[in-house]
Each structure stands twice: as C-alpha cells, then as structure tokens.
Structure 1
Amino acid sequence: MKQTLFIFIALILFSGKVFSQIFVHDPVITQENDNYYLFCTGLGITIWSSPDMENWTKEGRVFEETPEWVNTSIDDFAGHMWAPDIIYHNGLYYMYYSVSAFGKNSSCIGVATTKTLDANDPDYKWVDHGKIIQSVPGRDDWNAIDPAIAFDDDGQPWMSFGSFWNGLKLVKMNDDLKTIAQPEEWYTIAKRERSFDIDDTEAGDGAIEAPYIFKKNGFYYLFVSFDYCCRGPESTYKIMVGRSKNIEGPYVDKEGKSLEAGGGSLVLEGDKNWYAIGHNATYTFNGTDYLVCHGYDTHDNARQKLIITEIKWDKENWPVVKL
C-alpha cells in the first residue's frame, strides 16, 4: 500500500515539484510544437514522447541497428548507446550519443540528425554522421562519453563530455555541429583527485561525470555528477554545480573552490525516497527552469526513474532544487 501511494503521489506532484513515472537512465528532453521528446540510454537510444511531461509514451529508438562504424571502432562494445544529448539548431535536431566498452575509456561520441521528431511526419528520418571524438585506453587520460552541447554568447558551439579518468573536458565545435573546430581548443573544466597507483586504462576513483552547461543570470552553470551510479541500493550519485563568467571556465563553487580542484556545491542528492540522484540536464520550458535527471527509487527495488523538478534561484543566483 505504501509503495502504491508513493507512486500515485509521484504522478500528481509535477507542478514545480517532482515527477517520476517511467524507468529511464540518463534522460534528456526537447520540445517540438506541442510535444516533449525524451531520449535516454538504451539499445539504439530510447525515445519517449509526452504532451505535458507527465504522461509518457515509448516511441521506439533512434537506431534500429547499431551503426556499422561502432563495431569497427570499439572493442568489447557494451551494446547499449549511452547518455544522449538532444538540441535543435538551424532546422535540424542533433542527437549526440556515446558508445563504449563498460568501465573502459574505449569510447566514442557520435551524432545523428533529423528534421523532425514526429515519427508520422514524412521528414522524420535519422541520419547518422558517425563519430566526432574517440578515446583510446593507454593513449588518452579522458573518456569520450556523456556529451552535451552549449553555445557561448557569440553563438560558438562547444561540447562538454567526460567520465572519471582526468576529469571533464570542453572542446570547441564547428558550426556544422558534427566536427571539432580547428585549431583544436580543449579545456579541463572539472576533475576530482585520482589515486596515483591506478593504471591509466582503468576508470579508478575520482568519480565525476555527466557535465551539463546552462546559461543563466549572466553565468555559465556547470552541473556535474559526483560518485557512483548503477549500483542499485549502493549507488551514491549526487548532482553538484559550479559557475563561471566564461564558458571555458574556470568554474568555481559557492565557496570559491575551483571544480578543477575537486570543488562543487551540492544541488541534489539521495534521501529516503531515492538512493541516489544524478546525470542531469537543465532546461527552460515555457518560462520555467527545470532540472531533469534519474534517481534510484527506494520504494521500487532501486529501479531508475525519471525525475523532473523546478529550479529556483537564491539571492546569490545559485540554483535551488528540492524534491
């Protein structure tokens, strides 16, 4: 009875509070006309649609078959495509996605486009453009997963990405949003201390991933996830934030500590209803700011569920999020 009551409450408390209904991992959302579309980790990247961010219908997936380049680029490909990002720009929807061997930095970030997200529209067709970035064990001290696109004040596109290893990266993109700009500009925007005795081919400690940059109040806010996901009741994921006047950083937390030195101010963490909360994206829909993420439900065998909750801003212009 308690579990049923909790699920019912979660279904009705969306208005500025919290809403959880569907089982998702690494959710991102965009809006087309009167519908919202959610993309998340899964075989071929799972798609959901909703008229109100409350009632969701599974629409299938972006890729019915794994792109041929994936199997030739990634040894021990895990099968699932991870951690998408979705944006609309210059008449196209761009969907970025990760492919990887689990627990290794044998990883790539790719991109696919479509003119519309409405599967009933004749223009609906995903076109894959292949890989943008690749990380290789023993060569790179970063991991090419968890992409997210942001634009600076000049309209220049940037991609943030990364997980564990030597932290989270930012790289300048070309205007086509499919290739890295030349000459290449790379920045480390956040990292945590990593044990020196860990082999560079291992994820190790220094648990940080899933960067997402959101422009607001004259700042670029860098949201990241600390600690560990994907461990059921043992998960410790939580969302942290820092900010900067420049998209390249440096990003600092409320205490002025740099995120490159392990800093970060807490945004959201687990409580009696959630073992852990993380891998967020941040949006403004119809004049309201929202944080979108997944949590591990303590009332339902630690299943990963969608969370959407409103962001408020304190007098110092730091995000305030409550469940």
Structure 2
Amino acid sequence: MKRTLFIGMLGLSALMSGYAQQGEGVRKGRIVREPLVHDPVMAKEGDTYYLYSTGHNVSSFSSKDLSEWTIRHGVFSAPPQWAVDSIKGYEGHTWAPDIIYYKGNYHLFYSCSTFGKNTSAIGHAYRKTLNPDSDEPWTDTGAVIVSHSHDNFNAIDPNIVIDEEGNPWMTFGSFWGGIQLVRLTEDLTSTLKPEKLYTICTRQFEGASDVPSRSVNSVEAPFIFKHGGYYYLFVSYDFCCRGLKSDYKVVVGRSTRVTGPYVDKDGRELTRGGGSLVVDSNDEFVAIGHSAAYHFDGKDYFMAHGYSLSEDGVSKLFFREMTWDEEGWPLVSAE
C-alpha cells in the first residue's frame, strides 16, 4: 500500500477514524458484518476463516461463514523491536500483511514503513495455528528484505506464491521501480542468495508503446494467484489513501511462468503499460484496490478494500466470488 506525501487529510482522517472504531471493537470483541479494513488477506484453518489487515500490530478478524466477523486483538502484543530500531518513524502501525500456510506453519509477512519513503522492511513471523485462543506466540524472525533511500524499490506489500516446483517466491513493491519478485529460502525467512530481483510490473518504461509511460509509477499491492495453468498477477494502479478522492483500481495479467512476462488480454506486457481491468469504483465503493484471491471449498474469491460512499470514505472489506470467462480471465462483479 503506497503511503505518499500526496495523501489528502480527508482520506487520512477517514482511514484513521475507521482504525479507531476498529480498536474499540478489539477491546469489546464485537461481531461485525462489514469489517473496517485496509489491505485485507485471508487464510482458513479448520472451519474458521481468518482475515488480517493493516493496523496497529496487524489487525485481525475471524469468521465461520465469511459474513459475520469477530474482531480480534492485534497479531503482536507490541511492535517488533527490530523494526522500531531500524525504520525511523515506524511505531507499530503495520501495513499490508500476507498470510500463507507452508510446511506445517502459518507464515505472516508484514510491512514496516512510513509515509512517502522507501526506507522500509518486510518482516516475517510464524505460528502453528491461527486460533487466537492458543497460548502459542507468533515467532518473529525479523526482516526478509529491506529497502533504503538509494534503492529503486520499496520493500512493502508482500505476497508469497509457491511455484509448480514447490519453490517459494515473494512479490512486493510500491511505486519507485514497480513490482518486484524474489526467490525465498525454504524456511521463508530471507531472500535466496545471491539475491535476484525480477521486475514484473512497471508503468515506467522506455521505447515505443501504444500506452504512454507514466511520470509517476503508480502501481503497488501485487498478488499472484494460480489457476488453470497460469499465474495471474493482480496489481493496483493509481492512488489509495485519499478517502473518496482516491482512484485505485485493480488490473491483471497472466503468465505460464512465475517470473513472467505477465501479459493482459490484449497481449501487452505489464512491464510495457499493460493491465486488464478487474474492478474499479462502483455505486457502493470508491477506489477498490489492494486485492487478494483465494480458493476455498470449491469456489474462488476476490477480496480488496474500498472507500465507502455512504460512510464518508471509511475503508471497508470488498468481498466477492470470482468466476472465469471462456478464455480464462477472472470476472469479479461490482454488485
């Protein structure tokens, strides 16, 4: 999730208001039908779904039916000290998590950064269960990857994908040099050395194209979903975090290889200005974006956040069943 200096006070106020209400809910343990979230991701353990999102120490929810959500405490009892020490200005408001079950553990990835800077880090923690009533703590292993002001990438917005050979990869990135992909070690705690970054989506490029290169590389929030022999790369274009003035939207490209190239319906590469629209604003939400996709119980689902038109731009969960057209492209209803 991009945190830029352009962020409007109206949008920031609405977003923080939502988090404040959510914080009250954590203390009360209340049940909600429309959770206040930003950058949502999900996993299922047994008969329970668990949702994680941006928030203080990572916000969390649980549900038995994908309709009523119980607000849980933050994942961490205190901000990871390594991140507080190394990321100036980070105090526990943790962005854009990802969650995956892999080799006997649930692995949580999270973003530590501050507005408008790429001095950032992606952290990692693991636990055998997602059950919030378990006494088992999350074991934090520290930074997976770090970016500094001299780097042309931003180490936030992680998403983990396991390729057909069983190798773990992490895609990430926001603005700067665009969306990156890097191979992880088998324990998921660090990047494989020597580190090699693949740029798999950027809106800034050289050479002729029927789509003009953008002066600002407004792309972030990657998520890779495997379906029918393809890897589908969902990314968010344009700007979030301005409340009702946001213009986020989700586009997609696909590839037979996890490293790309990813192309859209018209054959344009996502590194050359491509991207087929999946979802945009509608009559209920402005700027639907920062998406994730899952296969649960025989169905595919698409989730994101959107700024509620009826509630002054509060950020809420957008959750829909995802189907596929005859050519194998994802379809997500705005209704």
Same-fold call, TM cutoff 0.5:
yes
8 Å contact 2:157–2:172 — kept in the other structure? yes
Query: What stretches of structure 2 of length at least 5 have no aligned partner?
Result: 1-31, 207-214
Give the match for residue 92 of structure 1: 105
| Number of aligned positions between the proteins | 295
Give the match for residue 162 of structure 1: 173
Give the Å deviation of 1:119.
2.2
In the alignment, does 2:69 pair up with 1:47?
no
Task: Choose the corresponding residue for 1:125, options 96, 113, 137.
Answer: 137
**Aligned letter for 2:141?**
H
Give the Å deviation of 1:78.
5.8
**Aligned letter for 2:241?**
C
**Aligned letter for 1:88?**
Y
8 Å contact 1:244–1:251 — kept in the other structure? yes
RMSD: 1.5
Give the match for residue 233 of structure 1: 244
The Cα offsets for residues 297-319 of structure 1, whole Å up to 9 and x where unpaired, read as 11111110001101110011000
CA distance in 2, matches of 1:178, 1:20: 35
Task: Choose the corresponding residue for 2:266, options 231, 244, 255.
Answer: 255
The Cα offsets for residues 102-149 of structure 1, whole Å up to 9 and x where unpaired, read as 111010000011111112234x31111100111001x10000000000
Task: Choose the corresponding residue for 1:22, options 25, 32, 35.
Answer: 35
**Aligned letter for 1:82?**
W
8 Å contact 2:205–2:271 — kept in the other structure? no
Give the match for residue 211 of structure 1: 222
Give the Å deviation of 1:79.
3.9
Give the Å deviation of 1:72.
1.6
- 1:291 is paired with a residue whose SS is strand
Give the Å deviation of 1:194.
8.0
Give the Å deviation of 1:20.
6.5
8 Å contact 1:20–1:308 — kept in the other structure? no
8 Å contact 1:78–1:100 — kept in the other structure? no
Consecutive aligned runs of 4 or more in structure 1 exceeding 6 Å deviation? none
The Cα offsets for residues 151-201 of structure 1, whole Å up to 9 and x where unpaired, read as 111000000000001100000011111111123232000011289xxxxxx
In the alignment, does 2:255 pair up with 1:244?
yes
TM-score w.r.t. structure 1 length? 0.89
CA distance in 1, matches of 2:91, 2:247: 23
Give the match for residue 311 of structure 1: 322
In the alignment, does 2:123 pair up with 1:102?
no
8 Å contact 1:115–1:125 — kept in the other structure? no
In the alignment, does 2:190 pair up with 1:190?
no
CA distance in 2, matches of 1:185, 1:141: 14
| Residue correspondence of structure 1 range 40-79 to structure 2 within 5 A | 40-77=53-90, 79=92
Taking every aligned residue pair, what percent have the same amino acid on both sides?
48
TM-score w.r.t. structure 2 length? 0.86
8 Å contact 1:20–1:307 — kept in the other structure? no
**Aligned letter for 1:90?**
K
8 Å contact 2:84–2:92 — kept in the other structure? no
Give the match for residue 116 of structure 1: 129
8 Å contact 1:78–1:101 — kept in the other structure? no
The Cα offsets for residues 220-270 of structure 1, whole Å up to 9 and x where unpaired, read as 000000000010110000000000010000001011111011210000000
